[in-house]
Chains A and B, each alone.
Chain A
Amino acid sequence: MDTELSATVVVFTFFPRSYLLRTANKCKRFLQEFYSEDENGKKVFKYGAQLVALAHREKVSVYVELDDVAEEDPELVESICENAKRYTGLFADAVHELLPEYKEKDVRLFAQLILYVLMMEQRGRDPLYFKPPSTTKPKVVRDVRADSIGNLVTVRGIVTRATEVKPMMAVATYTCDQCGAETYQPIQSPSFMPLIMCPSQECVTNKSGGRLYLQTRGSKFVKFQEIRIQEHSDQVPVGNIPRSMSIYARGENTRLAQPGDHVAITGVFLPLLRTGFKQAVQGLLSETYMEAHSITLMNKTEDDELGNEDLTEEELRSITEEGFYEKLAGSIAPEIYGHEDVKKALLLLLVGGVEQAPKGMKIRGNINICLMGDPGVAKSQLLSYIDRLAPRSQYTTGRGSSGVGLTAAVMRDPMTGEMTLEGGALVLADQGICCIDEFDKMADADRTAIHEVMEQQTISIAKAGIMTSLNARCSILAAANPAYGRYNPRKSIEQNIQLPAALLSRFDLLWLIQDKPDADADLRLAQHITYVHQHCRQPPTHFTPIDMKLMRRFLAVCKKRQPVVPEALADYITAAYVEMRKEARVSKDTTFTSARTLLSILRLSTALARLRMMESVEKEDVNEAMRLMEMSKDSLQADKSSTTRAQRPADVIFSLVRELSTEGVAGRGGAGGVVRMAEAEQRCVSRGFTPAQFQEALEEYEELNVWQVNQGRSRITFV
C-alpha cells in the first residue's frame, strides 16, 4: 500500500477563485433549499429551521447531514469527505452569510444577548459539524494513514485518556491603551502570537503607538478537550500492540466520553502544525490528530464485529445446508475431539430459548448448562471457546470470584465520596454468557448469590443504602470437577457432585464428561491426536468448521427469531413430561425431574427452532430436546451401571440397541424407543457378536422387562 501521498497538499489545495465561489454558492443553496417532506406532504426545511434557531441563539452549532447533501449533489459529498476541513469553512461562511436573513424576531429584547450576538457577528463563525453519510464504514485506527489526511473519517475505539475540559481561546480581544479601540484576533491554531500594536485608524494616523492589552473577559473561548482512543482488541492483528490516536474535541463535543468508553468518532484527520521554534526543532515529524465532528458512545454488544450487514444468501446456504445442526455443533471448539452431544447443547446455549413473560411472570429463555467431569477432559477448553465465540461473555473461575464479584459491589467513589454500584461478572454478562470454571471450588455462600440470577435473571441489591434490582439476563455455563477430584463410581451421584439440589435443578442440562474406555472411540481419539501431531493441523473432517465470525453473525440472526410452541404440540409435550416424571419415580432418579425440566425442554426446543430459523416449534425439536435431556441424564447414570456391568456381551448388545433407538429419534424422527429387529441384529453382528449372542441378550432383557419384542419378532419396543 502506498502510504506516501502529498497529503499536505490536499489540505491546502488552493481552489481557483471562481470554483470557490461556485462551491460557496452550492453550500448556500443547499442550506436554503434543502427540504424533506413530512407525512402530510408538507415541506420541512430542515436547515432553515436550524438556521433560525441559530440566529436566535437557541442553538450554538449547525449539523449538516451528508446524507441530505447526497440527495442534492452526490459529488459534493465526495469532495466534502476528501477535504472536510475546507468545506467546514465554506459551509460556516455560508451559514454566517445567511444568518441575518433568518432572524425572524427581534433579539434585541434581551439586553445581554445583544452584546453577545453582536460580538458573534463580528468575529468568529459558529461551529459547524458534518454527520457522515450512513454508507461510510467505520475505519480501524490502524487503517487511518497518511492518505487519510484531510479526509472525513469515522473510527472506533476505546477511550484511554481524556483531559480536563479547558477553555481555548477562539477569538482574542484586545483594547488599546491609547484610543480604547477594540481589536479582535481570530485564533485557529493551538498557540498564537499576541498582537502588540493597535491597528485602529486613529492610532495609525496619529502614530500614537497605542499598545494592545488582552481582555480575557471580552475574548471568546470554546471548550476544548483532548481524547486519546485506542483500537479495539479484536481489530489488532495477532502479535501487535493496539494503536492509538489523538482526538481534539471542541465545544459541544467535549465531555462526551470518559476513559473506558467505547466510542465511534467522526472527524477530520489532520496534521498538527506547530509554530515558531518548535516547528524548527520538530524537524521532520508532524504529529496528527483528529478534529472531532461527532462522538457517539457505543455499547460493546452492538459492536461492529458482528458485521451489520445481513448474511448473504450464499453464506446462509452454506450454513443451512444438509446436516447443519451437526455441522454447527462440530464447529464449536473443533480442536476438541468428540463430545458431540455436549457441543450440541452448547450450541443451543449460544442461541438461547425464547423468553416468555405471560402476565408479568417472567420465564427465562436462557439456557444454563453445567459440565462436570474428570480433570483433563477439556471442560475448560470448551468454556474458553464459548467465551471467545459469544459476542458478549464473561469468564471467571469459581475460586477467583466471590459472590460480590459475581453480582455487584457497592463502592465508594474515591473522587466524589458517593456510593456507586459496580457490576460484577454476571451483570456485565447481561444478554450474554457467563462462564464459571471450577464451579465446585466456590464457597457455598458465594454460590447462593447466583441462585437468583439463574432463575429470575435479576440481581437484587440491598446494601449501603442502595436498594435496586439489576438485570442479569445471562446464560450460565459452569464447569465443575467431581467432589473427589475424579468421578468415583463407588459413590452415589450426590456424593460425587456435591452441589445442592436447589442449584442443580436450575441447570437445564447437566453433563458428566467422563473418560470412559471404548476401543472405537479410543482409536478415533488416537487418530485425531496423532494427526494433529503429524501434520500440525486439524484432521480433515467431512465438513470444514464454520468460521467464528460467520458463526457469530449466524447466531445473531437466529436470535432474532421468536418461535412459538403450536397448540398441537402441547399435548405431546405434556404427555412426554408425565412419562418422564413417572420414569423418574420408578427408577429413583437422582437427578431432578420437576416442573423445571418441562421448562427446560421448552427452552431447548425453542432454541432448536431458532436454529432452524423457523417461526414455530416442531415435533422433531421437542424430540431432540428430550434426547439431549436423556443423554445428559445418561451421562450421569451410565457409569453407575458400569460398576456392575462386567462387559458381558448381553449388556453390550443392550446398550447398542438402546443407542440405535436414540439415534432413531434424532435422525429419522421415528417414535422413540422402537427399533427394528433386523437393524439391531445387523448392528450387533457388525460389532462382532454372533446372532446367537444377540438372541440370548434379547431374551434376557425381555425377561427383565426392559423391552418387548412383538409377535412377529420384527420390532423391539423399549418400555
Chain B
Amino acid sequence: MFAASQSDPNSGWEAKAVEFFKDHLKEKDAPTSVPSLNDVPLHYLKPNSLVKFRCLIQDMFDPEFYMGVYETVDPATKAKVLRCGKYKDVTECGVSRVDFNSRNTVTAERQTFYCVPIPGENPWVKEISSLSRVVPSTSYAPTRQKRSYEEDDEMDDMDTQPQKQREPHPGMTQNVGHGNGDCKRQETEAPSSQTASTSHLDLNFPLPGEKGPSCLVKVYENWDNFKLNDTLEVYGILSVSPALSALADEKDASSSIMDPTESMETAEEQRVHCPPASLVPRLHMLHARPVSHNNPLLPSATLEDNSAFLSSTLSEMASVRAELLTYFTHILLGDALAAEYLILHLISNVYSRRDVLPLGKFTLNLSGCPTASYTERLYQIIQQLVPSSYYLGMSLQNMNQMRLVPKKDYVANRLASGVLQLARHTSLFLDEIQLEQGQLDTTGVRNVTALGNLITWQKVDYDFNYHQMEFPCNINVLIVSEGRSLLPSDCQIHLQSQVTPANMEEYLSSIHMHTQTSSQLNKFRIYLSVARLLDYNISDEMTKSVEDDFVDMRKDDPQSVSAEDLHRMLVVARLLSLSLGQTSLSRDSWLRAKHIDMLRRSRMEQHKCVNGNEP
C-alpha cells in the first residue's frame, strides 16, 4: 500500500494519507460506501481494505512500540530495502530478512484499544443501518457475488494508491451492498466458525449474550483524546493476517525452562492481547469520528451542521410529542401523567457535571406495575424506540451472580467487562418486580451499591483490585417496581391505571399489535434522539422568577420543598421544554413543570396513605 512512499520515509506522506482519507470521508456518500464490520461478517471482507466499525472502547492496552520504518536485507543479493511498518502488523519481507540492527530503523509508538460493538444496540438500529447501504435496485443474483469480489479487489487496489484521486464509484456502493445481502443469507448457513470459537475465547462483551465482532484498534495519533467507553466510528485498515494467530500458538508451545521471562506473559494474557485474528481482527485506524448518537435515522453529522433537518424536526416536535404521549398513555394503562414522565425520562441526558454532581439526570421509578409480563412488554416497547437499551431483571439470582461492575483482571491484564459498562444514552431498564425474598450475598450487596451509585452520581467505580477508579457515565435508568424501589431515584411515580382490562395478557398483546407503522415508529425514534441532543438555556428573567417562586413555595410550606426538589423541578422544566422543541425555558413550561410535579407528589402522598407502609 505504501510502496510508493517507502523510499522516502520522512516525506510526511503519512499525514497526507490520513488527510486524504479524512477528506474523502467528509463527502456525503463516502461513509456509506465503506463496508462496515458491524454488518458484514469478517470472512467477507478483504484483508488490508478500508472498513469502518461502530464501536465502544472497552479497554485500553499498554502502548506498543513498533518499527515505523525498517530495513530488509535480501540474503542472496544483499540488497537493502527500506519498508514502512505503519498500519501493519507483520513484516513483509518475503525471502529477505529484517535487519534489526539497521541504523535506519525508526521506532514509533501506537496505542491499542479493545473495541466492542456498542452494547445493547437494539435490533432495529442494526437493521436500518445495514439496510441503508443496499441500493434499492438490486437483484440477488448469486452469480454476481463473484464479480463483487473482483470489484472489491479493484477497490482495494484503489485504496493502495492514495496519490491517485479516487472517484466516487457508483459500482462500489452496489457491490458492498450485494456482498452484504449475500452474507446475510449465508451467515445463517455457516455460523459455526464464529460461535464455536467464541466458546473458548471470552470476547469480553459488557452484556451477556451479545454477538458481533470485537476488534483491536491500533491508534497512531492523538490517542489521548479517546476515553474509555467512548463510542466511535473507526475508519481503518483491516488486518487479519494469520501470522498473528501463529504468533500466539508459537508462544504456548515454546515456553522453555531456560527463559524465565516467558512466564510473565501468562497464557491468558497472551490470549487476550493476541487473540486469533480471525476472531478479533486488527483495525489500523486512519480516522475516527465520535458518535454522538447511534440512531441511524438521524444524519450522522452534528445537529448544528444540519440545520435543514433540525428545523424540519423541530417544527414537527410538538405534534409527534402528542402522538407519543397518546401512545404511552395507552401503554401505561391510560395514565397520562406517567406517560408524560416517561417521555421526559427517555430524553434525559447528563449535560454537565459540577464536580461530583451530575446535572440533568432523571432516573424514573415507575411503581405500581401490575405483573411481570407487563414490564417485559414495556421493555419491548422501549426497545423499539431507543437505539440501545438493556433489560436487567433484578432477580436475586441475577444480583448475586452477575458482574455489574467491570473489574481489572491482572492475570490476563485486561478489564473484564461488566453490565454497567455501557455507552452513553443507553437505557437501562431495571425490573424490580423480579426481586423475590431472600438473601443478597457479598456480590449482591456490591451490585446493588453499584446500581445506587450509578443512579445518584452517574458514575461507576471500576474495580482495580488495589483501588477503585471512578468512571463517569451517562445512562438513563428506569426502575419498574411494585412499591417504592429500594434503589434511589430522582423521581417516583405510581402508576394509576385508568382502564382495568379484564384480561391483562390480551390487552398487552393488543398494544403490541397496535404498534404503529414503521414510519410512525421512526418518527418517535427521531423525536427521542433529537430532543436529547438539543441545546438549552435559561434566560436571566426566567431565573429570577424561578428563584422567587422557590422562595414563595418555601414560605408557604417549608417542609414540602427542598433544594433537591428545586433541582428536580429545574430538570423537569428543562426536559419539558426540550420535549416540546423549545430550547429555552418559558414561563409556561416552568408552571407546567411545577404543576405536573405537584400532581405527582399528591399522588404519591395519596398512595402513601393507602399503603401505610411508609412512616
Contact = CB atoms under 8 A, between A and B. Distances in A.
Interface of A: 3-9, 12, 145-146, 149, 158, 160-161, 163, 166-169, 190-192, 224, 226, 228, 230, 233, 236-246, 248, 259-260, 271-273, 277-288, 333-335, 337, 376, 381, 384-385, 400, 484-485, 515-517, 519, 522-523, 525-527, 529-534, 536-538
Contact of B65 (A160, A277, A285): A285
A276 to B, nearest CB: 9
Contacts of B98: 279-280
Contact of B62 (A237, A244, A281, A536): A244
Q: Which 9 A-B pairs have the closest CB atoms?
A: A239-B227, A517-B558, A536-B352, A526-B550, A526-B547, A241-B60, A534-B538, A284-B66, A226-B264
A533 B100 contact: no
Given A224-B260, A224-B261, 19 more contacts: A8-B107, A12-B101, A160-B466, A163-B263, A168-B260, A230-B464, A277-B250, A279-B98, A280-B91, A283-B88, A284-B70, A335-B354, A515-B559, A519-B551, A522-B554, A522-B555, A526-B548, A529-B566, A533-B570
Interface string B80-108: 00000100111100000110110101111
A238 B472 contact: yes
A272 B265 CA distance: 13
B55 to A, nearest CB: 16
A533 B538 contact: yes
Contacts of A226: 260-261, 263-264
Contact of A536 (B91, B351, B464, B563): B351
A237 B259 CA distance: 36
Given A273-B100, A536-B354, A4 B107 contact: yes
Nearest to B83: A284
Contact of B567 (A12, A240, A529): A529
B546 to A, nearest CB: 5
A245 B264 CA distance: 12
Contacts of B67: 284, 286
A385 B356 contact: yes
Contacts of B413: 228, 244
A158 B410 CA distance: 12
A281 B250 contact: yes
A283 B91 contact: yes
B247 interface: yes
Nearest to A191: B259
Contacts of B521: none
A283 to B, nearest CB: 4
B62 A283 contact: no
A38 B125 CA distance: 78
Contacts of B410: 160-161, 228, 259
A526 B260 contact: no
A224 B567 CA distance: 59
Contacts of A525: 550, 563, 566
Nearest to B227: A239
A532 B250 CA distance: 58
Contacts of B469: 233, 236, 242
A282 B91 CA distance: 8
Most buried by B among A337, A376, A529: A529
Main secondary structure of the interface of B (DSSP, over half): mixed
User: Which of B251, B260, B449, B555 has the largest number of chain A CB atoms within 10 A?
Assistant: B260
B65 A530 contact: no
Nearest to B471: A239
B64, B227, B258, B567: most-surrounded residue (chain A CB, <10 A):
B258
Interface string B531-572: 000000110000100111011001100110011101100110
Contacts of B250: 277-278, 281
B243 interface: yes
B570 A160 contact: no
B411 to A, nearest CB: 8
Interface in B466-507: 466-469, 471-472
B128 interface: no
Most B CB contacts (10 A, CB to CB) among A236, A241, A243, A273 go to A241
B554 A519 contact: yes
A4 B197 CA distance: 38
Interface of B: 59-60, 62-68, 70, 85, 88-91, 97-98, 100-101, 103, 105-109, 224, 227-230, 243, 246-247, 250-251, 254, 256, 258-264, 351-352, 354-357, 359, 410-411, 413, 415, 445, 449, 464-469, 471-472, 537-538, 543, 546-548, 550-551, 554-555, 558-559, 562-564, 566-567, 570-571, 574, 615
B258 A191 contact: yes
A243 B449 CA distance: 27
A484 B615 CA distance: 9
Nearest to B554: A522
Contact of B563 (A5, A284, A529, A533): A529
Nearest to A288: B65
A650 B64 CA distance: 76
Contacts of B66: 284-286
Given A4-B108, A530-B547, A237 B224 contact: yes
Nearest to B456: A380
18 contacts: A6-B103, A146-B65, A146-B109, A168-B260, A191-B259, A233-B469, A238-B472, A259-B466, A281-B246, A282-B247, A284-B66, A286-B66, A287-B65, A519-B555, A527-B547, A530-B538, A532-B357, A536-B352
A163 to B, nearest CB: 6
Contact of B228 (A9, A169, A241, A400): A241
Given A288-B65, A335-B355, A534 B543 contact: yes
Nearest to B406: A241
A228 B107 contact: no
B566 A526 contact: yes
B264 A283 contact: no
Contact of A530 (B228, B263, B546): B546
A200 to B, nearest CB: 24
B106 A4 contact: yes
Contacts of B251: 278
A242 B68 CA distance: 25
Given A241-B59, A283-B243, A526-B546, A246 B570 contact: no
B91 A334 contact: no
Contacts of B263: 163, 166, 226
Contacts of A12: 101
Nearest to A533: B570
A228 B264 contact: yes
Given A233-B469, A239-B229, A530-B570, A169 B64 contact: no
A242 to B, nearest CB: 7
A284 B258 CA distance: 25
A287 B100 CA distance: 14
A59 B550 CA distance: 77
A191 B105 CA distance: 23
A643 B67 CA distance: 78
A279 B100 contact: yes
Which residue, of B59, B356, B551, has the highest number of chain A Cβ atoms within 10 A?
A: B551
B258 A240 contact: no
